[in-house]
Amino acid sequence: MSIGQTLRHARLARNLSIADVATAIRVRATIIQDIEKDEFDSCGGEVYGRGHQRMYARYLGLNIENQIATLIKTEPEFETITLKPTKLKPIGARPNWSMVLSAGTVVSLALLAVIFIGDNDGISEPTNIISQTDTAPDITTDEQASSSSTAITEPGDITASATDSVSVGIEVISDSCWLRVEDGSGAVVFQGVLRAGDDREFLDSTQLLLVIGNAGGVNFTLNGIDLGTPGARGEVLRLTVTPGQIALTP
């Protein structure tokens, strides 16, 4: 019994229709019909078809890996890479030159007072110099406006500005890959087959929903972070990514 026949018999045993399965795993009903016949032209070829069959089997609670192993003799091994998030450094605020100049004036007057008192051999008489240190220098209207407009940038401000949108880069590094991308409003912005060497970049302000037909054949970049190959050869991967995200979650 072929893999497609195994899936069909299991579906009928559970009293499920093709429409039920298509809705549950978010694949068109015509594709479900084809993969039950072990026909894969409608989904981009055998590599993607086997991926859909894996997803179909997981929904039914079946294990078809032994059957697939007899059809695919070699499977590439992928090294697990631990990614370290990049920390953004806050940009410091500009110096308040009005306050710096005021402080410098006060220090200079204080030094002159010390020198003056020392030259008079310790005679303690009231002087205008001492009274001047108690009076803050006038600050012009332009200086006040410059001081009030100077904003201190906190680390959170930098993170917010760097994560206003979500960006995804897909580069096909081997075989070919069927890809579907929806934006935050649910509109399909791309659907089709990419060949080895092709690359695409997608951007949205809220989120992106992706279906990758051959997760082992692409290099995946999320919000500027290179995540490498996100899955195995022939694996169908469904992802929802958002602004600020730096790693893939199951």
Is position 90 within any domain? no
Assess whether 136 and 168 both reside in one domain.
no
Structural domains of the chain, count: 3
pLDDT, tens digit, for every residue of 133-190? Answer: 444 445 454 544 444 443 443 434 433 334 689 999 999 998 899 899 999 899 999 9
Q: What is the mean pLDDT of residues 28-56?
A: 87
100 or 208, greater pLDDT: 208
Is position 114 within any domain? yes
Assess whether 16 and 39 both reside in one domain.
yes
Is position 248 within any domain? no
| DSSP class per residue in the chain | --HHHHHHHHHHHTT--HHHHHHHHT--HHHHHHHHTT--GGGTSHHHHHHHHHHHHHHHT---HHHHHHH-------------PPPPPPPPPPP-HHHHHHHHHHHHHHHHHHHHHHHTTT-----HHHHHHTSPPP--HHHHHHHHH--PPPHHHHHHHHTSSEEEEEEE-SSEEEEEEE-TTS-EEEEEEEETT-EEEEEESS-EEEEES-GGGEEEEETTEEEE--S-TT--EEEEE-TT--S---
Is position 111 within any domain? yes
Give the CATH number for residue 27.
1.10.260.40
Positive or negative CA dihedral for 228, 231, 233, 239? Answer: negative
Assess whether 175 and 230 both reside in one domain.
yes
- In this prediction the pTM is 0.41
Assess whether 200 and 235 both reside in one domain.
yes
Phi-psi category of residue 228: left, alpha or beta, with phi > 0 → left and psi -120 to 50 → alpha: left
Torsion of CA 135, 136, 142, 146, to 10 degrees: -170
Assess whether 204 and 169 both reside in one domain.
yes
Predicted confidence at residue 40, as pLDDT, reads 86
Q: Which of 125, 150, 175 is the last residue of a domain?
A: 150
Assess whether 174 and 232 both reside in one domain.
yes
Assess whether 177 and 234 both reside in one domain.
yes
Q: Which of 71, 87, 118 is the last residue of a domain?
A: 71
Assess whether 174 and 124 both reside in one domain.
no
Structural domain boundaries, residue 22: 3-71
Q: 152 to each of 89, 94, 139, 226, how far by Cα in Å?
A: 14, 8, 21, 32
Assess whether 114 and 175 both reside in one domain.
no
Q: What is the mean pLDDT of residues 235-250?
A: 87
> 12: pLDDT confidence band, cut at 50, 70 and 90?
very high
Assess whether 144 and 178 both reside in one domain.
no
Assess whether 22 and 46 both reside in one domain.
yes
